[in-house]
Chain A
Amino acid sequence: MSSPSSTISVNTATSTPGHRVLVIARHEYRAAVRSRILIVLLGILVVATAASVFIASAEYAGRLADYQAYRAAAEAGGVARIAPSPLAPLSLLRGAMEYLEIIGAVVAIALGYLSVSRERSNRTLPLLLSRPVTPTELAAGNLLGALGVIATLVAVTAVVAMLCVGFIGHDWLNGIQLFKLALAYVAAVAYMGVFYCVGAIAAAKSKVAITGLMIALGIWLVVVLVLPQIGDTLDADNQIPGGLFAALGLGHDGEVRILAHFTTYETIRTSIETASFAKHFERFAFAMTDVKERFRSLSLPDLFFQVRTDIAWILAYSIVLVIGLLRAFRKQPTVPQGGQQ
């Protein structure tokens, strides 16, 4: 037993909104890092990423060796013009991006759900809000902390992927490739941040947080899995292997002429695809990681121009969801309504 103190000093306590947001963010980060469920989900994502890039890199190493053998032979034979390498080491990260798109979104939803349900089950919301903390500061702090967790996760997967490409694929990324990779991962943080908001909003708006989790996972199912597939499934050219128009012997002009008769159908199909936030992230990430061959030869400004619509959509979704999160936290009941008098 400690010896009792007979006096207690008076603190001068003042805090600013920025300070409180940072305190909450640090608290949120620590709580997330200590959550077993989250650690398991993060582990799955990192292992899946590593496995995907590892396998792709191993196959890539063979192709790179073939190219280098060809190049050596061409140089020895005095060939004047040697074909440049058709290989794109960044494209080995396709699987990593797809896992972020699918599993990363689930991890982010879980983060959002846990940050709301934790306060509810601990019944700490009244304690927090009896301090000079506004619901907006609470939402901002939680979001900032979650973005910290997401950025850490994304950084881990990025480093794992980079090392796999280097050590297994025997090809190290150059400066410009690293920059493009960094941009893809910044988009991944924004993408997962949006799904964090979806999870947190759904939980905050539901009387029972687990109902909110179910709703958020329903949204994930539609946005990440269903909508992007509808676009591809409804594409007339995808109806037979090798392409419908190619099988009919029609070139691009013929395809355009025929599709001109189906403008409403095509508009609906494109709109469905456009409505999918996941598709915009995928297009941007694939463009940055050289997955699509047509983007590989473009300069950075040209590349940005090509994906400007996707950048705009990612920004728009991010802004709308952050506003939604702030509103949901402002309207969240701090004490059980009518239950306790």
Chain B
Amino acid sequence: MSRPAIEVRNLSHRYTTDPVLRDINLTIEQGEVFGFLGHNGAGKTTAINILTTLIAPTSGTAMVNGHDVVAERNRVTAGIGYLPAEVRMYPHMTAAENLVFFAELSGVSKPHEAVAETLEYLECSELADRRLGSFSTGMRQRIGIAQAIVHRPQVLFLDEPTAGLDPMGVRQLRETILRLNADLGMTVFMNTHLLSEVAQVCTTIGVLSHGELIYKDSIEETVRRFPDEASLEDIYARMESATP
């Protein structure tokens, strides 16, 4: 059996005195599309920041592709792609220049070819030579995804990827995630509070409430376990209302 894509044990984090994450235990297998649900301020972004090595946890361990996020930082970052909640990058550079820069940092052997192929895959080659400063939110999001996958990572972290997108943008993003998962077997870890997205894209969900992981299971099992609820939204509301 292959090692899990993500394995978190007794993970806690605090910025000041109040804990943001409390004793999280979580395993995500290779090839899963994991939806991390939670209200604003639940600790989802902190979790993603720890898993992408941007901050060190206060206690506990987190492994990505079998590598510890603190002790083996470079091995972890070599195998992940990250799309932050707000994609900014370098506005004075063109989309292609931005992407080549990030591809080179990851050591991609033929960065220009990889960028052209990635943009074509995401159906946005026409954006290549335009400066990022002139882009709409949707365009920036697509270049942000290109940035996250240009080096073909095994695990892709998306932080609220649908924020600010119009319905067409949301639909395109959904299709892209499914294609990446199908074509490259990419594991996807997605922070969101949009349950409609989770229902259509994710294979597994986790629910974070006030820093605690209160639920984790496959979508199928979740629906089976809560037969009385009409939708995932109802299930989520029931879970949240059950927490103190």
Contact = CB atoms under 8 A, between A and B. Distances in A.
Contacts of A133: 77, 105
B90 A4 contact: no
Contact of B77 (A9, A11, A123, A131): A131
A2 B90 contact: no
Interface string A13-25: 1111001100110
Interface in B39-75: 41-46, 49, 52-55, 73-74
A12 to B, nearest CB: 6
A341 B78 contact: no
B84 A2 contact: no
A4 B77 CA distance: 29
A334 B46 CA distance: 12
B152 A127 contact: no
Interface string A288-314: 000000000000000000000000000
Interface in B124-169: 124-126, 147, 149, 151-152, 157
A130 B43 CA distance: 19
Interface string B113-128: 0100111110111100
B30 to A, nearest CB: 15
B243 interface: no
Contacts of A20: 105, 107
A122 interface: yes
A contact residues, range:
35 or more
Contacts of A132: 74, 77-78, 105-107
A82 interface: no
Interface in B62-104: 73-74, 77-78, 80, 82, 84-86, 88-93, 101-102, 104
A331 interface: no
Interface in A1-57: 1-5, 7-16, 19-20, 23-24, 27, 30-31, 34
B26 interface: no
A129 B105 CA distance: 10
A340 B90 CA distance: 22
B77 A124 contact: no
A122 B41 CA distance: 23
Given A123-B86, A126-B84, A130-B53, A341 B102 contact: no
Contacts of B82: 126-127, 130
A128 B118 CA distance: 19
Given A1-B123, A8-B118, A341-B20, A128 B41 contact: no
A123 B84 contact: yes
Contact of B120 (A2, A23, A123): A2
A33 B109 CA distance: 27
Contact of A124 (B88, B118, B126): B88
